[in-house]
Amino acid sequence: MRIAFVVPRFYPYRGGYENSILWLARGLVKKGHRVTVFTTTAYDLEAFWLPEFRTLAAGTENVEGIAVHRFPISYQKWIRRSLRTLSFLPNWRIKARFGKPSFLVPGLRQALVNEKPEIIHIGPLPYNSLMYEGLRMGRQLHSRVIATPCTHFGVEDETEVAQFYTQEFQIEMLKRCDGVIAMTKAERQRLSNLGVSPEKVVSVNYGIDPAAVSNGYGDCFRQKHNIDGPVVLHLGTKAQDKGTMSVVEAMKLLWNKGSRAWLVLAGSSLSEFDNYLTRNSRPPRLLNLPAVDDEEKRDLLAATTVLAHPSRVESFGLVYLEAWANGKPVIGSDTAVSREVITDQEDGLLVPFGDVPALAAAIDRLLSDPGAADRMGTRGKHKLYDRFCWNVTAPKIYAVFTPSI
């Protein structure tokens, strides 16, 4: 079958969603399907809207048998601003195409016509215009359209996050898909409550290949960066919603009490975090790294004592699985999504989002009690192999596309 993925970013960018699409596409290729990825040149998140951020070259390449087409984003402000005014019209299709945070990707539509895929996969939210183009062309080409929206709901009873993922036009897009993959039961229930047919929404956990993120050399990482104590790790995009600033502030509390632990931040960062770090004096035991390659990531995870990732914008949280693959305990935010992944007090700890003292206490507890930390990490590893390994989850995801895969 000809299967197309329409996604904002793809390898070599290595976010959780991008990794999942790579693993899924790779598996479909091995099954004999023709897989094509249609994506943009954006690398940094801000590159979707601002030309001064990092991008990749436009064109076509082959990644492990996957044909990848990258299209440049149009930065012509007068066109974007004039089209943005159309989003105020009361039509869900127009809002999906032109409302914030949409962007224009010339050439994508014609490339899909030329490919004539039988299945088109779209996502994630809130990349509305890209998802709409995939859905629109799917209807035109009579292709089956599958969405993995990665809907973020944030903290219960708050709309600060959910308002950007559950707008009426976004739900209308999902209603018109042939299938929707929800990464958790909580996401499936919320989407059903919002009007997406329960028959279309399937709750399927994505997973990881433990071998790809484990068996690193922690001592190599420590020697390379002159680290001489416990390591608290925050892995992934550095941003307020990801809890990055909370982790830094929590570590400041512990350092003021005499802690000798290091905080390692590894991943791309938004401008809001860069500005935060500039405004504040950098603690001497903080190591701020960009996104690391696969080898250094394995070494870093091996060197880690505790993963602190108290995010409120997770659709699943593959980073927790990566820590568990190395037998490390994790700390997440107490949200409905994280509670489906992390069992509080068993394989990790959950704290209220943005509660710096509670986060500091959780980190201190795991640093001060190595036995409890080891037990939580071991339980997490068992859970990973039982429920979240790619070879366990992948067949369930393939089945959503078509029973024949």
Angstrom distance (rounded) from CA 135 to CA 270: 29
CA 98 to chain centre: 24
Q: Which band of pLDDT confidence, cut at 50, 70 and 90, is reported for residue 103? A: confident
Q: Percentage of the chain with pLDDT > 70?
A: 98
Pick the CATH number of 2-207+390-401 from 3.90.650.10, 3.40.50.300, 3.40.50.2000, 2.120.10.30: 3.40.50.2000
Q: Is the pLDDT of residue 280 over 90?
A: no
Which has the closest alpha carbon to 169: 143, 132, 136? Answer: 132
Q: Is the pLDDT of residue 259 over 60?
A: yes
Q: Looking at this protein, which amino acid is placed at residue 112?
A: L
Angstrom distance (rounded) from CA 393 to CA 381: 16
* pLDDT tens digit sequence for 137-162: 999 999 999 999 999 999 988 899 99
**Residue 76 confidence (pLDDT):** 81
Angstrom distance (rounded) from CA 136 to CA 224: 50
Task: List the beta strands (DSSP E) in 103-245.
Answer: 119-122, 144-147, 179-182, 201-203, 231-235
Q: Is the pLDDT of residue 405 over 60?
A: no
Angstrom distance (rounded) from CA 33 to CA 378: 37
**Residue 111 confidence (pLDDT):** 97
Which residues lie below 8 Å from residue 230, measured CB to CB, with a gap of 6+? Answer: 260, 261, 262, 305, 306, 367
Backbone angles phi and psi of 125, in degrees to 5: -70, 150
Q: Is the pLDDT of residue 287 over 90?
A: yes
Helices (H), 7-163: 16-30, 77-84, 92-98, 108-115, 128-141
* pLDDT tens digit sequence for 182-226: 999 999 999 999 999 999 999 999 999 999 999 999 999 999 999
Q: Percentage of the chain with pLDDT > 90?
A: 88
**Residue 320 confidence (pLDDT):** 98
Q: Which band of pLDDT confidence, cut at 50, 70 and 90, is reported for residue 281? A: confident
Rg of the chain over Cα atoms, rounded to whole angstroms, equals 21
Q: Residue 156 has which token pair?
A: 């219960």
Which residues lie below 8 Å from residue 395, measured CB to CB, with a gap of 6+? Answer: none
CB atoms closer than 10 angstroms to residue 182: 27
DSSP helix/strand/coil, 265: strand
Q: Residue 246 has which token pair?
A: 């909370």
CATH number for the segment(s) 210-388: 3.40.50.2000
* pLDDT tens digit sequence for 316-357: 999 999 999 999 999 999 999 999 999 999 999 999 999 999
Angstrom distance (rounded) from CA 194 to CA 403: 27
* pLDDT tens digit sequence for 10-53: 999 988 899 999 999 999 999 999 999 999 999 999 999 999 99
Mean pLDDT of 130-139: 97
**Residue 263 confidence (pLDDT):** 98
In the chain, list all ranges with CATH 3.40.50.2000.
Answer: 2-207+390-401, 210-388
Parallel, antiparallel, or unpaired for β 262-266 and 330-333? unpaired
Under a CB-based contact definition with an 8 Å cutoff, are residues 259 and 250 in contact? Answer: no
Q: For the chain, first and last CA: distance in Å?
A: 9
Starting at the edge strand that comes first in sequence, how are the strands of the sheet with 262-266 ordered?
Answer: 286-289, 262-266, 231-235, 306-309, 330-333, 348-351
**Residue 403 confidence (pLDDT):** 61
Mean pLDDT of 176-184: 96
CB atoms closer than 10 angstroms to residue 48: 22
* pLDDT tens digit sequence for 58-99: 999 999 999 999 999 998 876 667 667 777 778 999 999 988
Angstrom distance (rounded) from CA 393 to CA 222: 34
**Residue 282 confidence (pLDDT):** 83
Angstrom distance (rounded) from CA 67 to CA 279: 43
Q: Residue 12 has which token pair?
A: 């070599």
Which has the closest alpha carbon to 232: 286, 287, 130, 305? Answer: 305
When the pLDDT of each residue in the chain is averaged and rounded to a whole number, the result is 94
Under a CB-based contact definition with an 8 Å cutoff, are residues 155 and 168 in contact? Answer: no
Under a CB-based contact definition with an 8 Å cutoff, are residues 138 and 120 in contact? Answer: yes
pTM, rounded to two decimals:
0.93
**Residue 404 confidence (pLDDT):** 56
Angstrom distance (rounded) from CA 160 to CA 219: 41
Q: What number of helices (H) and strands (E) belong to the chain?
A: 17, 14
